[in-house]
Every structure is written in C-alpha cells, then in structure tokens.
Structure 1
Amino acid sequence: MSRRRKFHLYLTIVTLSTGFLVATSFETNKLTRKERMNDQLFQQETQLNDRILAEKEQNRHLENQLLDLQRQVGKVEEAMAERKSEAADTLSQLDAARMLAGVVAVEGPGIVITMQDSQNAANSTDIANYIVHEQDVRLVVNELRAAGAEAISINGQRVVSNSEIRCIGPTIIVNGIKSAAPFVVTAIGNPDTLDSALNLPGGVLHSLQDFVQISIAKKERVELPAFVGDAKTKHS
C-alpha cells in the first residue's frame, strides 16, 4: 500500500472517529440537558405542591378562625337578643305601671258612661234621691275596675288608687277639682266586657236606673289624661 493511500485511510479513520465522538458528545449533552430540565421541572412541581399544601393548611386555619368567630358572634347576638327581650319586658312592665299609676295620658278602646240627675228630681219632695252622688259614681268606678278597666277618668280627671271622690251638694270633687252633672266616666278596656259587667242582672245599672239617668256608649278609641295631683296623698 502506498504511503498516499495509507494517509487517506488514516484521515478517513480520524474523521470517522472525530464524527463519532462529536455525535456521541452531542447526544450526551442532549441527554444531560434533558435530565437537567426534567430535574428543574420536578423541583418546580415539588415546590408548587408544597405551596399548595401550605395554602390549604392556611385556609384550614382561617376557616377554623372564622368558625370560632362566628360562634363568638352567635353568643354575643344571643346575649343581646336576651337583653333586648328583657329590656322590652321591663319597658312593657314600666308602661303598664305608668298607666295604672295614671302618670301618662293613654288611649284605646273602651266605654263612656254618662250619669245625670233624674228628671223626677224637680217633682220630688226628696230631691237627694234623684241626683247623682259620689257613691253612685264610685259604684260605677269600682265595677269598671273589677271588670278589668285599664284606666278610668271622671269628667276629665284621671282616677288612680288614691284619687279623692267627694260630694258637696250637687257637685262632685275628683282630685280636688269640682264639677257638676252630668258626670262622664270614661274607661279604657274591652268595651263588650265592661258593658256586660255594668249591665249584669242586679248589677250597677239595675240598682241606679230608678234614681238617676245612665247611658253607656262603647267606643273604638277614647283618650284619658294623665293624673294631676299629689300621688302620695291618700284620700278617703
């Protein structure tokens, strides 16, 4: 073999070896880059999963805090509702006490009783039997109270537990205020109940009808003024 042919043979071998080494190196680098990229993706995925787990744990913690706060708010709302209910009951009792004490003006359904001297008074030798006396008015007031009247007034004077009802001649004094017939007794309560109580057989109207004139009107709404006077003073 000539020297020239040997040179070409060696050159060919060297070229093929170099090409093989370059190709092998390229493939090796390619695999290395791919493995590196896969490793980065794995690390990123792992980090993302860790973040998701951390977020889930944080959300669970926040949900527990929210539930705890909701329970606390519920307890506060229950306590406030209870106090509000107690306050409403107290206010209702106070309003009822004020009405019974007569210290506030009130209105509501009720009846109006008008009591006048009998027309027979002018022709009678005993006029006193045919005029309205304080005991007649008091009899009506007591019957109304027994029937459940919530508030009562006589000629615009509010009647309370210690109200004075006195008779001087043809006039009646209520809470120190003098007035003459007709005497208008106004009461707040169930109109039917109050009317029935006054009209019972042998009751108030039956005992007075032969001596004085009495008329009763049921009303959907009547107004009574507040008591004016010294509530501490007891009159008989």
Structure 2
Amino acid sequence: MSAKRSYHSPLREQAAVQTRERIMDCAAELFAERGYGRVTVADIAAAAGVSPKTVFASVGSKSDLLDRIVDRGVGASGHEEAVRRILGENTPAAVLDVLASGTRAGNETHFRVHQVIHKALPVHENGEALWRRATEAYREALAAAARRLHRLTPRPVLTEQETADALWFWFGPSSWRTLVVDNGWSWPAAEAFLRRTAAATLYAGSSGDADSGGGPGPGSGGDAGSGGR
C-alpha cells in the first residue's frame, strides 16, 4: 500500500503566517496598553478576530505569546549591525555617537515592545528570565562597545568592566524610559544628554576627542516623548 502524499499549500501557509502575525501584533498592543496580567487569551482572540482555540493553535499560551513578541523585538533590534558599526569606528567620539544614536533608534522604534516587557515584569511567572531574554543581546552590544573604547586613545578613566556597566546605565532601556516617559523629554534631547554625560564621565580630565559637542536641552527637539508614544 503506497504512503499518502502530504498536501502542501503555499496559500494556506501564507494565511497561517499572517494570522500568527496579526495575533502577535494584537497581543503586543494589548500588553503594552493594559499590562500583561490584565489581558486574557480571549481578549487577544477578540482583537485579532479569531477564536481562542486559534490563538493556542497558532502561537500557544499567553506566556508563549510574550516570549515570541520579545524574541521578535530582539531579532529586529539591529544589535549585530550596531556592533559591526562600533567595531569599525576609530575614535571614542565616533563610538559614542553610534551608541547614542543606535540605542535611541532601538528604544524609539521598539518602544511598544519595551512597554510590554516593563509592564509584564512585576507579574510574569519568571520575570528574571524574561528580562534576561530581552536584554542579553543588548548588554553584549554595550560590552563590545566598552572593549572597543578601551582599545582606542584616549582610554576611559574606568576599567573595561566598569565602562560596560556605565554604558548600560546610560544607554540601557531604563535611562531612555526615565527621561522620555517619566520626565517627558524628547528623544533627541535624551540622546544628546546621555551621549554628553557618557563622554564627560568616561573621559573626565582628558583632552581627547570623545566629546563631539553639545546638543539640545530637554525642552527642544520636538514634543517631549512624542517620538515613542
């Protein structure tokens, strides 16, 4: 008896992918607006125009959805390209320029994903693992930047590990959130301030070229915080 042929339908596969993406988009929007703990699978299904059964079959549980949203955000963050750019720069000023502009672009473009993570952490069943999953590549990129800075002249006044930690303090998601969301700064103003602060601290007392100049204050660069909301 001959084996049954498997049926392959590109159109059906395409429809399944589109359904999955729609479910994830709706889930991300609801998680960002209401918070992970206040959203049910039924809410997500209603927003996506499908049944709860379809949500489970297409993506999985609510926790699976969150993991997929985070993974999609990490994959689209461009951290690998940012590291390549950092390693190609030959002055501290240029490295800091790439860091400031690159982390701003990532946080501004993927603001909704950061909102999802921020609101999920207090109630997620494994918040520590979620945070590590969301930020591991981000921290690796900043560590690569620290290594690059310590191979250029002048070198930072901090150790390499201290520099990596300080770059996370300045350019990690918490600082962007504090300035833009909590205090209403514009994204350009936050970028200029963080870049300027990093240069002033890492190269305190140095006559090198780490500081490329000033920048807009908190009240300039457009409506405060509007770039990510």
So what's the TM-score if we normalise by structure 1?
Answer: 0.21
- More helix per residue: 2
Q: Which is greater in Rg?
A: 1
> Which of 1 and 2 has higher RCO (CA within 8 Å, sep 6+)?
1
More strand by share: 1
